Amino acid sequence: MKTSKQNSLLTSISLLIIFIAFGCGQKWSEENKGDYSLVINQDGQTLGYSPASGVKILTINRLAFKDLNKNGKLDSYEDWRLTAEERAKDLASRMSVDQIAGLMLYSSHQAVPSGGGGFMQGGTYNGKPFAESGAKPSDLSDQQVKFLTDDNLRHVLVTSVESPEISARWNNNIQSFVEGTGLGIPVNISSDPRHGSDSYAEYNAGAGGRISMWPGTLGIAASFDPALMKKFGEVAAAEYRALGITTALSPQIDLATEPRWSRFDGTMGEDPELTADMARAYVDGFQTSTGIEHISGGWGYHSVNAMVKHWPGGGPEEGGRDGHYGYGAYAVYPGNNLKDHLIPFTEGAFKLQGPTGMASAVMPYYTISYNQDKKYGENVGNSYSKYIINDLLRGEYKYDGVVCTDWMITADATGVDKFEGKCWGVEKLSVAERHYKVIMSGVDQFGGNNDKGPVLEAYQIGVKEQGEEFMRKRFEESAVRLLKNILRTGLFENPYLDPEKTKSIVGNAEFMKAGYDAQLRSVVMLKNNPGTLPLKKQLKVFVPKRYTPAGRDWFGRETPENWSDPVNLSIVSKYFEVVEKPGMADFALVCIASPSGMTGYDPGDLKAKGNGYVPISLQYGIYKADFAREKSIAGGSPFETFTDRSFKGKSVISRNAFDMKMLNETKTQMGNKPVVVIVDVLNPMVFSEIEKNASAILVHFGVQDQALMDIITGFSEPSGLLPFQMPANMKTVEEQYEDTPGDMNCYVDSNGSKYDFGFGLNWKGPISDERVTKYKN
């Protein structure tokens, strides 16, 4: 019979055994979320995995880890306690050349669901078009399954999505699919900018939307406030991550020194210092995670990799012609000023204030940076240039992030005016040879290529020239860079999304308000005759219709003629009484766009025995290029028999010349009554044709009509400043240097205001505050 002391001892021992057993057990728990499970580590990362993928959970030292390669043991790349660098190197060493080749691909544009055609490459589902397939919108298309399996592709560019919830479910499907394949490498989903404003949409305080709407980056730059740009980055990153997007193919930080360039409106203006500050703020906002979202080094579950573009600056296109086409293949430097174009990168995106340090990816532009390679003497597209990438970017500026080509640079081209491959300067190389040249220049990834075949051919070319050991090392070097961007954003631990949470984040009321407030701050008032603005509500307003003639869009597709209301009249009617005739109105509201519709190339000119090259005009009316160069700086293409691309003496007219006619006729009809002009600006423009007939002028860079109504009625005071110059005439446009900022004569209006960089009005007159002091003076 045991004594009470013995019973007490046995009880204590039993409790100790239970305590030890409990303490030595797993320190994680699992939650079933339907199509995926969450594993919550008490002292570590939360894991997400799909039971359907076949992945199991390993318990090591009481902590949970995903056995992604299903070998029953914890490998270094699966160990979330190690650094991204350590894990990436381990995984790269385990990958076959085939798998690395797939990692080096970046898909063509993918819609969710994939139901389109043409440029966006419509997909099929079990061999049928989406509409006939019975598939769910979140299912993977046949083409997506193929490039994920056969080509080992792991970087996917997403365009349109049916809804935020569908995007989340598609993300879960694609991540589950690849989790069960090979080494279990997650998909890095990317997006071009998707936060533009729908001008017709109504903003209601406290209401949500499909995604928050902001002005374009040129509009945010017009605030001259980097803090606003950072706020945009933070909001956009939160919405991107809720959609499954972990890489932004942005920001576009090309210095906008050539006012005729068709991509001018995607930039942050022409000033190096302002653009550098805005670029830094944008990347910090996108890449930085804090609090519970933070993993390490500023990276985490809020982070979105920023792929800054376009190195070494796509702005100085000769004559403004764009590098998507062979007629715009050359960037020129008549001012010998490449250095200014590097500043947004080297002093902005590569010198962050936040802990991530620098932008994690860079995209070179299509262009040939003409005669800038002083070492090897090559004039080839930037991604093909060993000097531009290896020597300048990686060597001089010590950049060791991902470098990804722009889309379709290795594909064949058949003419200078075809929207096809963009293999400028290397047209005579084979597709495989182009891939090899890109790899040897220091680039890691091929944009718009779903096919690993040419990458493997390039590897074999390298093996013959350099040896197997060299090429294996070179491929692993790129693999490590690419894998780090996937690891640092937490995708290896948990790539899955809760669709209901996605729905609550994307376009929530707080984000919508932030975007709307930014729109108000982006509008620039250039002119305001005394007593014109702000206007009283419920005045009678006449809004003339806009006419757009038939033509072709940027991709060369035919567009029909069109008469339309230039603003949402239902929005306008909440502020004013809309009338049908000018004589009935108290004022006219004329909404136009800057002169547009010119590319700098006309096949008709070629047929008329010209060279095909014509001016790009920044005025509405007929323009004859009397002051253009006698001979172009650059030229030459296998598809042309000449090298001189001069357009001197040729004439063009803006496609939207009716805007000028509409405005001037409206002024005649209104007599002495005010004519308020609102211009949607894509490029700088010559105001001499219209300014005198405007009582007030506001310019914007993509905002909702409601924001414009709030400003002209005084609900909000204009505060934006021009982030670029407005030219006095086309003579100064032709005589300015494509690579030099601030070198035009600026337009001076009838009130004596000079439309220069940093100019803008508020209700009191010209704005002169700390922003102007910092950036203009």
Specify the 3-state DSSP secondary structure of 646: coil
- Nearest Cα neighbor of 96 from 455, 485, 495 is 455
The tokens for 404 are 């990804």
Cα distances from 138 to residues 115, 141, 144, 236, in angstroms, run 12, 9, 12, 22
Catalytic residue among 139, 406, 739, 756: 406
603 sits in the region (left: phi over 0; alpha: psi -120 to 50; else beta) called alpha
Catalytic residue among 67, 225, 254, 271: 271
- Strands 761-762 and 765-766 turn out to be antiparallel
**CA 510 to CA 726: how far, in whole Å?**
35
**CA 147 to CA 110: how far, in whole Å?**
12
320-323, Cβ contacts within 8 angstroms, sequence gap of 24 or more: 320/258, 320/259, 320/260, 320/261, 320/262, 320/600, 320/616, 320/738, 321/599, 321/600, 321/601, 321/613, 321/616, 322/261, 322/262, 322/263, 322/599, 323/365, 323/366, 323/367, 323/422, 323/424
What angle, 0 to 180 degrees and rounded to 10, lies between the N-to-C axes of helices 453-466 and 431-441? 60
Which amino acid, residue 197?
A: S
Q: What is the DSSP string of 133-197?
A: H---TTSPPHHHHHHHHTS---EEEEEEES-HHHHHHHHHHHHHHHHTSTT-PPPEEEES-----
Which amino acid, residue 633?
A: I
The tokens for 685 are 């423009």
Sign of CA dihedral 737, 743, 748, 754: positive
Residue 207 phi, psi (nearest 5): -100, 155
**CA 189 to CA 159: how far, in whole Å?**
10
Which residues face 624 on adjacent strands?
651
265 is catalytic: no
- Strands 155-161 and 188-191 turn out to be parallel
406 is catalytic: yes
The tokens for 202 are 């109504």
> What residues are labeled active site?
271, 406
